[in-house]
Structure 1
Amino acid sequence: MVRSIVAASLAALSFASVSQAQDFTFSGGYDRADFDGVEFDTVVLRGRYMFNERFGAEGQLNFGINDESVELGVVTADVSLDYGVGAFAFANLYTNEGLNLFGRLGYVHAELEADAAGITVSEDDGAFAAGVGAEFFFDDRNGVRFDYTWADYEDSANFYGLSYVRRFGG
C-alpha cells in the first residue's frame, strides 16, 4: 500500500511539472495521534495534487516517534504507533491568495505495537477518516498548515497536526 501511494505521488509530481496550471503540494511536520486516550507523537508527510481550484487528492504517511506506557491490570505495556498511511479526497472550502480552508474524506490504515513482559504483539486496522484544516501561505510557495482528522477505528482516533507546506505549479 505504501509503495502505491509513493508511486501515485511521483506520477502526480511528474504530471504537475508538465502542466503548470495545476497545483502539487508537499508538506511535512508533526501530528499528535490520540487513540482513545493513548497518545503518540508522529512525523507526518503529505503529497496533494489539485485537479482544479477546489478538488484534489491527498496521500499521507505517519511515523511514530515515541512509546506510550499503558497499564493493563498489574502489567505495564509499552505501546507504539509504527506507521499510518492514508488516502483522501480533498476540497478547498474557501481559498484566496494567502489562506485555504479545507475538508477531506478518506481512508487511513495504522499499525500499533505493544510490548509487555517480553512479549510483543502488533495490530493493524483501517478506518474511514474525515478532517478539516487551514493553510496560511507567506508567499506563492511557502506556508504552514493546521489540521484535525478523526478516524473511525474500533475506538476512534483523533489527529491534530502542524506542518510546513511547499506548493509547486499553478
Structure 2
Amino acid sequence: MKNLMPAALAALSVAAIPALSHAQVTPEYYGSAGYGTTRADGADLGAIQGRLGAKLTPHFGVEGEVGVGVSDDKTYVAGAPVNVELKHQAAAYAVGFLPVTPQIDLLARAGYGTTKFKSSVAGLSASESQDSWNYGVGAQYKLDDRNGLRADWTKSEYTNSKADADTLAVSYVRKF
C-alpha cells in the first residue's frame, strides 16, 4: 500500500490538470476548526485541528492541516504501562470534491504529513517524529453560503515503520 501512495498522488495531480482548465474565476478559500481522535499503536489520542484550504475548482482543491494533542492514552508493552501523547501534527493535501446536492459534498484527499509522539514509561520518556503518506474520505454539509460541518476519516501510513494510524475528525467549516 505504501508503494501505491506516490502513484496515487501522481495520478491525482495529472487528473487535476484538465480540471484546472475549467477553473472557477476565483478560488473559494476556507478554514476549519475541529476535533480529531487518532488510533495509533493501540492508543486513542485526541487533537484540536485547524485547516486552511482553497477550492480551486468545483472538484479540486488543496489544504493544509495542523493539530495539537489534547488527550493522551495508556497502552501496555510487556505488561508495563506506557503513556502515549500526540504532541502535534501537520500535513498538506490535494482534495477532490464531489458535489452530491447543493448542500452536500463528498470528498477524498491524499497528502503527506508529519506527526510527533511522546511516550513515557517508569519515569523515562522519548519523543519521535514520524512522516507519513495520508489518504482519506469524508463529507461536508453546508449550513448556508459561508458555514458548514465536515466529518472525515484519514489513514496515515508512516514511512519509517510498519505502523499506521486512523483519524476520525469532525469540524466547523467557514468559507472566507
Q: TM-score, normalised by structure 2?
A: 0.80
SS of the aligned residue for 1:65 comes to strand
Task: Say if 2:42 and 2:75, in contact at 8 Å, map to a contact too.
Answer: no
- Aligned equivalents of 2:89, 2:169: Cα separation in 1: 14
Return the match for 1:142 from 147, 158, 174. Answer: 147
Whether 1:55 and 2:63 are equivalent positions in the alignment is no
Whether 1:163 and 2:171 are equivalent positions in the alignment is yes
- Map of 1:101-112 to 2, 5 A cutoff? 101-112=106-117
Task: Give the unaligned 5+ runs of structure 1.
Answer: 1-18
Deviation at 1:118, TM superposition (A): 1.5
- Aligned equivalents of 1:95, 1:161: Cα separation in 2: 21
- Map of 1:128-139 to 2, 5 A cutoff? 128-139=133-144
Q: Please name the residue that 2:122 is paired with.
A: 117
Moved more, 71-80 or 45-54: 71-80
Deviation at 1:20, TM superposition (A): 7.8
Moved more, 87-96 or 121-130: 87-96
Q: CA RMSD in A?
A: 1.6
Q: Please name the residue that 2:89 is paired with.
A: 84
- Map of 1:90-101 to 2, 5 A cutoff? 90-101=95-106
Task: Say if 2:84 and 2:118, in contact at 8 Å, map to a contact too.
Answer: yes
- Aligned equivalents of 1:39, 1:108: Cα separation in 2: 19
- Aligned equivalents of 2:175, 2:46: Cα separation in 1: 25
- Aligned equivalents of 1:106, 1:58: Cα separation in 2: 9
Q: Please name the residue that 1:24 is paired with.
A: 29
Q: TM-score, normalised by structure 1?
A: 0.83
Deviation at 1:101, TM superposition (A): 0.7
Deviation at 1:99, TM superposition (A): 1.1
CA deviations 1:3-55 (Å, max 9, x no partner) are xxxxxxxxxxxxxxxx9832011000110101132110111100111112111
Q: Between Structure 1 and Structure 2, how many residues are aligned?
A: 150
What letter is aligned with 1:105?
A: A
- Aligned equivalents of 1:121, 1:90: Cα separation in 2: 34
Return the match for 1:71 from 63, 72, 76. Answer: 76
> How much identity, in percent, do the aligned residues show?
29
Give the ranges of 4+ consecutive aligned residues of structure 1 lying more than 4 Å apart after TM superposition: none
- Aligned equivalents of 1:133, 1:72: Cα separation in 2: 33
Q: Please name the residue that 2:39 is paired with.
A: 34
- Aligned equivalents of 1:120, 1:127: Cα separation in 2: 23
What letter is aligned with 1:42?
A: A
